[in-house]
Amino acid sequence: MAPGSGIRGGLPEEKNVAQMVRENTTVYGRKYQALLDRSTPHVMERWLGTLGLFILFGLNVVFRQGVRFFFGTIIVIDD
């Protein structure tokens, strides 16, 4: 059968959900891999970003739970 001739008159066949998920997974996987490939050479920036996230996490703990650091000793303040 030639392309364009068929029951649907040349329209593409409908895809089931599994095929659509597989195609989208492939597309997003390639985009993610491209992002990884671009960021790999930037070692210093990645370590600084990681350090920044750790600092934000530490500040979150300190301000939400009332933990105070006093001369190397952790003091938990109960409110």
The span from the CA of 12 to the CA of 40, in Å, is 39
**Parallel, antiparallel, or unpaired: how do β-strands 73-76 and 67-70 relate?**
antiparallel
- pTM to 2 decimal places: 0.38
DSSP bridge pairs for 67: 76
In this prediction, residue 5 carries a pLDDT of 54
Note whether residue 40 is domain-resident.
yes
pLDDT digits (tens, 9 = 90+) for 17-49: 788 788 778 888 888 888 888 877 878 888 899
Distance of CA 24 to the CA centre of its chain: 16
Higher per-residue confidence, 33 vs 5: 33
pLDDT digits (tens, 9 = 90+) for 50-78: 999 999 998 887 777 766 655 556 666 66
Note whether residue 44 is domain-resident.
yes
Note whether residue 10 is domain-resident.
no
Domain tally, the chain? 1
Work out the number of other CB atoms within 10 angstroms of the CB of residue 67.
13
Note whether residue 61 is domain-resident.
yes
Note whether residue 41 is domain-resident.
yes
In this prediction, residue 7 carries a pLDDT of 57
Note whether residue 1 is domain-resident.
no
User: Phi/psi class of residue 12: alpha, beta or left (left: φ > 0; alpha: ψ in -120 to 50)?
Assistant: beta
